[in-house]
Amino acid sequence: MKKLLIWILAGLGGLIALVIAAVLVIPMFVDVESYLPQIEQKVSEATGRPVSFGRDVDVSVFPWAGVSFDTMRIGNSQEFGEGEFVKVESFEVRMKLLPLLSKNVEIEKFVLNGPEVHLVKLADGSSNWQFGSQEAKSPQPSAEKGSQSQEQKTARNFQLASLEVGEFAVNGGRILYEDREAGLSKKIENITFHLKNVSLDRPIDLFFSADIDGTPLTVEGSVGPVGQKPGEGTVTTDLAVNLADELKISLEGTFINPSGEQKFNVHLSTEPFSPRSLLQTLEMPFPVETTDPEALSSVAADLQIEGDPSAVMLRDSRLTIDDSTLKIAAELTDMAKPDVSFKLTLDTIDVDRYLPAPQDKKAAGGIAADPAPAATPEQQQAAGQEPAGAEPAAIDYRPLRRLVVDGEMSIGELTVHGAALRNVELKIAGSDGVFTLDPFRLDLYEGGVDVTGKFDVRQDSPETAVSLEADGIKVGPLLRDSLEKEILEGTMGAAADISFRGDTAPSVKKSLNGSGTLTFVDGAIVGIDIAATARSLAAGLGSKVPEKKPRTDFAELQVPFVFENGVFNTENTTLRSPLLRVKTMGSADMVSERLDMRVRTKIVGTLKGQGDTQDRTGLTVPLLVEGTFADPKYSADLSGLVSKETLQEAVKNPEAAKEKIKSLEDTGKQLLKGFGIGD
């Protein structure tokens, strides 16, 4: 910003000097039109491009000093072929001379009509807006610390006493941009730029309009006053931006010492607008496909931004997306090692509205939509995607190692995957690659969940540790909302400590370690009546189709578990219910996705359930669950089933024994299906 201002001031000074020379010297001693061919030749030799001026050139001295011409053309250098780099239909400037002696600039008119610029970038990266050799464009070595460049001295010493401009206008401008390397072209047409009330001590009114690839854009408002020393002091801005009558932005604020400390304090706000409608007007595809086609139909921002080049702050800011409102207070300091602090408050949000639509969603008419043909590796590569089966690119954690963060967020109501969460609170802090989540708590279906966590990215393979406690959660409504299934009812509690390494599914699975316990009380397994089925099997009757949806009520269900290098183990998962005990033991390998479980159902002669620790005798119905997660296999556990009486019965009637075992296996399948395992 500072360097740009220096160039603007230097350019303005040069322009003033050029105009003075033109209006004083040229009219008295030179026939301008007769010298135009020589001027064109010299300029062409200097730029390496053909240059021509129209012959209608007018230079005047009194009562106003002025210069005007009807046409100017600057062509392209040879490697860019024929065509014009710059074209101007007409130009006129008129100003008073005597006030210049006291550094008072009075310009009656500065009008540029029909300027056209055609920017071209070739496939080799060269561009037609580059002049001279690369050596000439190379930056010069910086001066010693503490010294001032000539540009800085010029800017410091340059000071106008006053500035008055009657008319400043650019009309009918056009910019064409062509990037042959990227196959991209853009057009900005119908450019209009007007300044009114141009002065050092009054706000300057401005108006800008253009069509960007056919989309209208307008900017109007005021800037200033800029003061006696432009670039110093406080500059006030009040601008309104209108893009295609879809997006309307208001920018109000102050910029303090733009050429020095560059502090700012601005208020940026938008009227509610539809990103969907805006992108449709711009003929651009919507970047995401959401489950709710009306999501992201209304967005508004109200931001209070202040800071300087070393720090940016958001104060009392607000972002509204559809029915959700986010209050924002944030601060970013030390750009080299970003230090971020924030406090975010969100009233309500339904995340499911913004997630991609399910892949198996039915097409119109109830017929499943045909899947799109799989892209070839070449097509995936052309689209910037990783080919199927390719190893994902490694994540670069170096930016996180430099990050310092201290933030908190609260959400009143959150819906995700159908589950309704309330009073979500989160606090995160970290530096040098180690981040802690403490606490993360929420209310969930009449209960609560508390989580603490640690995320360590000091090494290329991150380490994660999580501790969880939950209590009083009504699991039935939770499963109905999140899975749309009735599997289990009751009140759930949980305690677990889990850790793992890595950032890909295979690395996380094989490094899972930890332990925990799930507890369910006063509930039911929905979908099967274990006691009735076990009695039928024991009597050799087989399983019967129930008249109403079966359920197994229980007083207590406990699932203690241990993760060891990706293998889930449980040695004593128990269900206690009047007249019934169920015990499960075995393992599930998360890496190979294989099962090795044993389920034993025992009918006992007691009505005690929860809290009964006595080892009860009774009729046991055992079951083996093996195979894979995707294709579990069920069979009778003969080692637990065979007794003297069973052997005698099998010898007498082997077919009946086989049928009994088959019925047992079918019952086991029904039981596991009730938990969502199997087809």
**pLDDT digit string (tens) for 158-171?**
567 788 888 899 99
In DSSP notation, 260-285 reads TT-EEEEEEEE--B-HHHHHHHTT--
Least confident of 202-211, 546-555, 605-614: 605-614
Nearest to 354 by CA among 375, 332, 323, 377: 323
- pLDDT value at 217 more than 70: yes
The predicted pLDDT at position 367 comes to 43
| pLDDT range class, residue 288, cuts 50, 70, 90 | confident
Mean pLDDT for the stretch of residues 252-278: 92
Higher pLDDT, 398 or 31: 398
User: Does residue 606 lie within any of the structural domains?
Assistant: yes
3-state DSSP helix/strand/coil % of the chain, to nearest 5: 20, 45, 30
Q: Most confidently modeled of 249-253, 356-360, 381-385?
A: 249-253
The predicted pLDDT at position 327 comes to 97
User: Does residue 69 lie within any of the structural domains?
Assistant: yes
Q: How far is CA 378 from CA 182, 387, 394, in A?
A: 19, 8, 21
- pLDDT value at 185 more than 50: yes
Q: How far is CA 422 from CA 321, 407, 445, 471, in A?
A: 19, 20, 9, 15
Angle between helices 530-538 and 654-674 (to 10 degrees): 170
- pLDDT value at 417 more than 80: yes
Give dist(CA 596, CA 352) in Å, integer: 35
- pLDDT value at 387 more than 50: yes
Task: Single out the residue in 181, 208, 226 at which a domain terminates.
Answer: 226
Give dist(CA 526, CA 475) in Å, integer: 12
| pLDDT range class, residue 390, cuts 50, 70, 90 | low
Mean pLDDT for the stretch of residues 207-215: 93
User: Does residue 248 lie within any of the structural domains?
Assistant: no
User: Does residue 545 lie within any of the structural domains?
Assistant: yes
Mark 655-679 as b/e (b = at least 16 C-beta within 10 Å): eebeebbebbeebbbbbbebeeebe
Domain extent at residue 1: 1-128+158-226
Dihedral angle computed from the Cα positions of residues 664, 666, 670 and 676, in that order, rounded to the nearest 10 degrees:
110
- Do the beta carbons of residue 478 and residue 458 sit within 8 Å? no
The predicted pLDDT at position 135 comes to 43
The predicted pLDDT at position 609 comes to 37
- pLDDT value at 7 more than 60: no
Q: What are phi and psi of 386, to 5 degrees?
A: -75, 130
Domains of the chain: total: 2
- pLDDT value at 276 more than 60: yes
Is residue 477 classed as helix, strand or coil in its secondary structure?
helix
Amino acid at 289: E
The predicted pLDDT at position 10 comes to 55
Give dist(CA 236, CA 258) in Å, integer: 11
The predicted pLDDT at position 58 comes to 77
User: Does residue 367 lie within any of the structural domains?
Assistant: no
The predicted pLDDT at position 24 comes to 53
User: Does residue 231 lie within any of the structural domains?
Assistant: no
State the DSSP H helix or E strand holding residue 518, giving kind and residue range, or none if neither: strand 513-526
- pLDDT value at 355 more than 60: yes
Mean pLDDT for the stretch of residues 369-395: 57
- pLDDT value at 4 more than 90: no
Task: Single out the residue in 205, 226, 247 at which a domain terminates.
Answer: 226
Q: Most confidently modeled of 3-7, 48-52, 403-407, 486-490?
A: 403-407
- pLDDT value at 436 more than 70: yes
- pLDDT value at 106 more than 80: yes
Nearest to 46 by CA among 91, 87, 77, 83: 77
The predicted pLDDT at position 60 comes to 74
The predicted pLDDT at position 11 comes to 52
* pLDDT, averaged across the chain: 79
Is residue 620 classed as helix, strand or coil in its secondary structure?
strand
The predicted pLDDT at position 422 comes to 96
The predicted pLDDT at position 158 comes to 55
* Percent of all residues in the chain with a pLDDT value above 90, rounded to a whole number: 42
Nearest to 353 by CA among 301, 418, 290: 290
The predicted pLDDT at position 21 comes to 56
Task: Single out the residue in 173, 207, 226 at which a domain terminates.
Answer: 226
- pLDDT value at 91 more than 50: yes
The predicted pLDDT at position 317 comes to 96
Beta bridge partners of 346: 326, 411
- pLDDT value at 368 more than 50: no
**Tokens of residue 325, six digits:** 């409102």
The predicted pLDDT at position 601 comes to 74
Q: Which residues contact 165 (CB under 8 A, 6 or more apart)?
A: 107, 110, 195, 198, 199
- pLDDT value at 294 more than 80: yes
User: Does residue 442 lie within any of the structural domains?
Assistant: no
- Do the beta carbons of residue 166 and residue 181 sit within 8 Å? no
- pLDDT value at 677 more than 80: no
| pLDDT range class, residue 318, cuts 50, 70, 90 | very high
Least confident of 134-148, 331-345, 513-527: 134-148
The predicted pLDDT at position 486 comes to 84
Nearest to 77 by CA among 134, 123, 138, 120: 120
- pLDDT value at 6 more than 80: no
User: Does residue 577 lie within any of the structural domains?
Assistant: yes
Give me the residue label for tokens 């008072």: 104
| pLDDT range class, residue 633, cuts 50, 70, 90 | confident
Is the pTM value of this prediction over 0.85?
no
Mean pLDDT for the stretch of residues 221-233: 85
Q: Which residues contact 567 (CB under 8 A, 6 or more apart)?
A: 587, 588, 589, 590, 591
Least confident of 278-287, 450-459, 569-578, 649-658: 649-658
Q: Which residues contact 648 (CB under 8 A, 6 or more apart)?
A: none
Is residue 481 classed as helix, strand or coil in its secondary structure?
helix
